[in-house]
């Protein structure tokens, strides 16, 4: 993979300020002040969540994900390279599907029986084989070419021309005519080029959806490999752009949202290049979940022919020499999949951020590890009232459990969710209002980037007095008692490792309700 934005809908801005406590430390709380944002950045509140639907009312992409589960795939290479051969190793990484590049019959060549997907060339010179059609029951997705918005001839400026749109639409229609619609048809857009000259605009994404009728939106942006052109604020801004476009859906009404996806940054440009740190590996997954993403693909699993792309998962060609990153990815995948049954049954209703203060270095480029007071494009600062309710009063990074406010901390991502479906009897945890908090650390180990947070709640007349959390360790729902302050106010001291997040819903211990 060669591996900004038009006008967004005008919506109300929820504001915040930093109230000084013990020097540079801060409590984040709702105020009437204006949020400090980067110059020229439009900040918008989220698209409203679509009304809860029945399964029959879902778009095809959400239906497939509901049936197949949260997707954490890996892009692998089979033809003309040292293909992976160790099935047990593959299985231990907890990827949900083997997504092959342009190789035909990848599973037959590997001898593996696993869910699969693959790329299709722009000229469709690698059509589905008869074996692949017979194996369509385990097909999860098909991608039409890649990064067509990055083409030099004809040049693109945030949209695709009519010829490309017609090709994509014809390909999607042909696949569905050939093998039905029990898979996800999509293409991927690039966001790594210099300073956003060719990144898709919201208008370009809307035109693409109307013309081609995709099942999903997808993009790639790699902060550790493009630290100057894709700093973290740009990555978060792209995540928000595709989130808003997906939530709006093909007709722009929001009644039938599309799932949205991204490639994760798990490659390097040589075997000598430093490996991505554990916190960054985790952040790519948990930040995605907090934004409402339900589909990720690791770029890459094994070494392709490309002389500028080398795997972070392995120290050589093939799959005989896994690096420590393999273990990081396997653990992040395992924890994420424990959240999967809830994530595919929820829809994102809001996402906010609290910019951090920490600094760090990425690939030899000195960058702030945190946003350092500014906000990514299209993302509002967190404040009371985010997510459409007043329950969370403040979120304070603290030095330790029960300790005072911390002077330095990483970015904090707060996502809010509502049920996708009107009936959640098959998975009751998906009912009610949910929120997710993610520690935005992306350097060092997960343990070294850990942070405590004190969260204060005021549940008013709602009847809530506690939380439920979906355990990343076990996948079980656990009750989280809160410390009673007074009246309807409670607090929680929450510990999160670097790049990691927890998913909660509001709960009442007394009434047993959400």
Q: Output the CA torsion 441→442→448→452 (10° steps).
A: 10
pLDDT tens series, the chain, 514 aa: 433 222 223 232 232 222 222 222 333 443 323 333 333 333 444 555 677 888 879 999 999 999 999 999 999 999 989 999 999 999 999 999 999 999 999 999 999 999 999 999 999 999 999 999 999 999 999 999 999 998 776 667 899 999 999 999 999 999 999 999 999 999 999 998 755 678 999 999 999 999 999 999 999 999 888 887 888 999 999 999 999 999 999 999 999 999 999 999 999 999 999 999 999 999 999 999 999 999 999 999 999 999 999 999 999 999 999 999 999 999 999 999 999 999 999 999 999 999 998 754 444 444 455 676 689 999 999 999 999 999 999 999 999 999 999 999 999 999 999 999 999 999 999 999 999 999 999 999 999 999 999 999 999 999 999 999 999 999 999 999 999 999 999 999 999 999 999 999 999 998 776 7
- pLDDT for 226 equals 85
Q: Enter the CATH code of domain 55-343.
A: 3.20.20.80
- pLDDT for 328 equals 98
- pLDDT for 369 equals 56
Q: Which residues are within 8 A (CB) of 201 and not within 5 positions of it... i.e. 6 or more apart?
A: 4, 5, 6, 158, 159
- pLDDT for 364 equals 43
SS3 454: strand
Q: Are strands 189-190 and 116-120 parallel, antiparallel or unpaired?
A: unpaired
| pTM score, whole prediction | 0.90
- pLDDT for 224 equals 85
The CATH 3.20.20.80 portion of the chain extends over 55-343
The residues with which 141 forms a beta bridge, in sequence order, are: 117, 184
Helix 202-212 vs helix 162-179: crossing angle, to nearest 10: 40
Q: Output the CA torsion 463→465→469→474 (10° steps).
A: -120
The residues with which 17 forms a beta bridge, in sequence order, are: 29
How far the first Cα of the chain sits from its last, in Å, is 44
Q: Within a 13 Å sphere around the CA of 424, how many CA atoms are in the beta-carbon half?
A: 20
Q: How far is CA 216 from CA 202, 354, 450, in A?
A: 15, 29, 34
- pLDDT for 30 equals 38
- pLDDT for 230 equals 87
Contact 98, 90 (CB under 8 A): yes
DSSP calls for 268-289: ESSTTSPPPPHHHHHHHHHHHH
Q: Are strands 451-458 and 392-398 parallel, antiparallel or unpaired?
A: antiparallel
DSSP state of 363: T
SS3 471: coil
- Cβ–Cβ contacts within 10 Å for residue 159, how many? 18
Contact 66, 56 (CB under 8 A): no
DSSP state of 427: S
SS3 30: strand
- pLDDT for 194 equals 59
What is the spatial distance between Cα 368 and Cα 359, in angstroms, rounded to a whole number?
4
Q: How far is CA 92 from CA 58, 73, 88, 266, 487, in A?
A: 32, 13, 6, 17, 48
- pLDDT for 336 equals 99
Among 346, 339, 350, which residue's Cα sits nearest to residue 503? 339
């Amino acid at each position: 993979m060669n591996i900004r934005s038009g006008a967004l809908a005008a919506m109300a801005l929820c504001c915040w300020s930093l109230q000084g406590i013990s020097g540079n430390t801060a409590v984040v709380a709702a105020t009437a002040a204006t949020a400090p944002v980067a110059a020229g950045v439009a900040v918008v509140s989220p698209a409203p969540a679509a009304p809860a639907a029945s399964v029959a009312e879902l778009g095809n992409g959400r239906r497939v994900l509901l049936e197949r589960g949260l997707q954490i795939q890996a892009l692998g290479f089979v033809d003309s390279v040292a293909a992976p051969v160790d099935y047990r190793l593959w299985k231990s990484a907890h990827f949900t599907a083997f997504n092959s590049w342009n190789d035909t019959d990848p599973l037959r060549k590997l001898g593996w029986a696993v869910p699969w997907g693959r790329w299709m060339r722009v000229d469709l010179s690698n059509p589905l084989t008869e074996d692949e059609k017979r194996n369509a029951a385990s097909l999860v997705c098909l991608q039409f070419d890649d990064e067509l918005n990055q083409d030099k001839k004809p040049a693109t400026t945030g949209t695709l021309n009519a010829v490309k749109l017609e090709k994509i639409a014809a390909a999607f229609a042909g696949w569905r005519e050939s093998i039905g619609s029990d898979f996800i048809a999509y293409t991927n857009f690039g966001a790594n080029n210099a300073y956003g000259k060719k990144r898709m605009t919201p208008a370009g994404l809307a035109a693409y959806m109307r013309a081609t009728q995709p099942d999903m939106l997808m993009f790639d942006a790699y902060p550790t490999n493009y630290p100057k052109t894709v700093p973290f604020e740009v990555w978060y801004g792209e995540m928000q752009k595709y989130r808003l476009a997906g939530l709006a859906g093909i007709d722009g009404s929001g009644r039938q949202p599309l799932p949205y996806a991204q490639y994760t940054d798990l490659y390097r440009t040589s075997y000598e290049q430093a490996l991505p740190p554990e916190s960054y590996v985790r952040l790519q997954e948990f930040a995605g979940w907090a934004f409402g993403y339900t589909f990720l693909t690791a770029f890459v699993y094994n070494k392709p022919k490309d002389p500028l792309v080398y795997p972070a998962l392995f120290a050589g060609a093939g799959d005989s020499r896994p690096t420590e990153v393999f273990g990081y990815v396997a653990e992040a995948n395992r924890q994420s999949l424990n959240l999967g049954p809830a994530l595919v049954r929820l829809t994102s209703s809001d996402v906010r951020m609290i910019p951090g203060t920490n600094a760090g270095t990425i690939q030899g480029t000195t960058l702030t590890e945190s946003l350092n007071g500014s906000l990514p494009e299209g993302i509002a600062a967190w404040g009371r009232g985010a997510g459409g309710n007043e329950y969370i009063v403040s979120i304070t990074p603290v030095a330790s459990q029960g300790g005072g406010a911390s002077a330095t901390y990483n970015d904090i991502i707060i996502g809010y969710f509502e049920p996708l479906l009107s009936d959640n009897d098959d998975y009751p945890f998906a009912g009610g209002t949910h929120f997710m908090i993610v520690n935005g650390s992306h350097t060092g180990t997960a343990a070294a980037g850990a942070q405590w947070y004190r969260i204060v709640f005021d549940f008013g007349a709602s009847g809530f007095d506690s939380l439920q959390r979906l355990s990343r360790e076990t996948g079980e729902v656990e009750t989280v008692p809160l410390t009673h302050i007074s009246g309807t106010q409670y607090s929680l001291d929450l510990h999160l490792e670097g790049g990691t997040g927890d998913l909660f819903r509001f709960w009442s211990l007394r009434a047993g309700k959400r």
